[in-house]
A = this chain, B = another copy of it.
Amino acid sequence: PDEQAHRQAVARHAGLTKPAGSLGRLEEIGVWVSARQGTCPPRPFDRPRVVVFAGDHGIATNGVSAYPSEVTAQMVDNILAGGAAVNALAANAGAGVRVVDMAVDGETNRTVAAYKIRRSSGSLDVEDALTEQQALDAVTAGRALADEEVDSGADLLIAGDMGIGNTTPAATLIAALTESEPVAVVGRGTGIDDSAWMRKTAAIRDALRRARKVVHDPVALLRTAAGADLAAMSGFLAQAAVRRTPVILDGVVVGAAAMVAEELVPGAARWWMAGHRSVEPGAALVLEHLDLRPVLDLEMRLGEGSGAVAALPVVNAAIRVLGEMATFAEAGIEGP
């Protein structure tokens, strides 16, 4: 981030026709964007992009989700057809949506599967989710996707997740990196009952035994307890920072990938803002760990990038305020 643009934006806000600080967090968000763009006033986003990382997880066969794994591929088609929540929210926010198959347990079309690593990631309770090479390849794919988007003009990136069972590896990563117990990170995901909750908690416990041994090696951690979708998201979020492109984070799954991305590229988190506070317990730990305050708190828990893209119009509002409001001098108004 650009310190000079940051200072200019703070100074500009102080001169706009409103009591100092009266727009609260909208002011902070505008300043944040200014510093990431390196310019004041900030520019409205020209090409915000959501990339949804789809992948299945072997653990889903343990009954940790309210849905069967088949739904992942069906939802990929639904996103392609424009019928998913992320499509409606992105249309509302003026953002484009792309979905990529990193490890769907089924066939998707060639474009969507261009970076596919494997069919379903391993069942992390009993085996590594990925091989070492697959973990590296997935991170590289995520980086390549960020590069593709930025090279195509994207000036804001959002990662989304789609995959039955994906909150189980997410919770495991969060527990490992925050040194939390399984019960502190496990959530209801798609809306599971008590017995599924117990199976999910046990799976996280078993995966954590192995994950904790490699917690200081981010690629090994992704190999052990993530999956190709989460590993690719980590690469994507890390590379967004390398490319100096701001990111709005979504909920628990993206948050887990973000925590690993911060291990891959320390300081990357400075390029990320939190779109919302998910009701998933692990999401709160991510926000605390990365020291991020969310824009929205709407009790969402969908994934797909939905909470991030729901926040985008508020971020746009913050940009417009800083760019379009008159100063006291311009309006001929007496300051305080």
Query: Beyond A191-B336, A300-B24, A336-B67, is A92–B313 a contact (Cβ under 8 Å)?
Result: yes
Instruction: Report yes or no: B324 in contact with A91, Cβ–Cβ below 8 A.
Output: yes
- Please judge, given known A-B contacts A85-B18, A317-B310, A324-B88, whether A333 and B24 are in contact too, CB under 8 Å: no
Alpha-carbon gap, A333 to B306, bound state (A): 19
Interface residues of A in 11-50 (CB under 8 A from B): 16-26
Stretch at the interface among A70-78, A214-222, A257-265: A70-78
Segment of A115-123, A203-211, A232-240, A291-299 engaged in the interface with chain B: A291-299
Partner of A336, one of B66, B82, B313, B316: B66
- The distance from the CB of A316 to the nearest CB of chain B, in whole angstroms, is 6
CB atoms of A88 and B325 under 8 A apart? yes
Q: Give the number of copies in the complex.
A: 2
Asked if residues B334 and A71 are in contact (CB atoms below 8 Å), the reply is yes
In contact, B83 and A298 (Cβ under 8 angstroms):
no
Report the Cα distance A302→B318, complex, angstroms: 14
Residue of B nearest to A16 (CB): B85
The contact string, 1 if C-beta is below 8 Å from chain B, for chain A 322-336, is 011110001111101
Q: Which size bracket describes the interface of A in this complex?
A: 35 or more
Quote the shortest CB–CB distance from A322 to chain B (angstroms).
8
Taking the nearest CB of chain B, how far is it from the CB of A266, in angstroms? 30
**Which residues of chain B are within 8 angstroms of A333 by Cβ–Cβ distance?**
71, 74-75, 78
Which of B17, B89, B314 contacts A296 (CB under 8 A)? B314
The contact string, 1 if C-beta is below 8 Å from chain B, for chain A 113-155, is: 0000000000000000000000000000000000000000000
Q: How many whole Å from A320's CB to the nearest CB in chain B?
A: 4
Given the known inter-chain contacts A83-B331, A84-B326, please indicate yes or no for A17 contacting B92, CB distance below 8 A. Answer: no
**Interface contact B25-A326, CB-CB below 8 Å:** no
- Once the chains are docked, how many angstroms separate the CA of A333 from the CA of B83? 11
Is A300's CB under 8 angstroms from B74's CB? no
Specify which chain B residues have a CB less than 8 angstroms from the CB of A74 in the assembled complex.
331-334
Please tell me which one of the listed residues B21, B75, B190, B298 contacts residue A191 in the complex, with CB atoms under 8 A apart.
B21
A93 close to B (CB within 8 Å): yes
Contact of A88 among B24, B67, B321 (CB under 8 A): B321
Contact B84 A17 (CB under 8 A): yes
Q: How far is the CA of A243 from the CA of B151 in the complex (A)?
A: 51
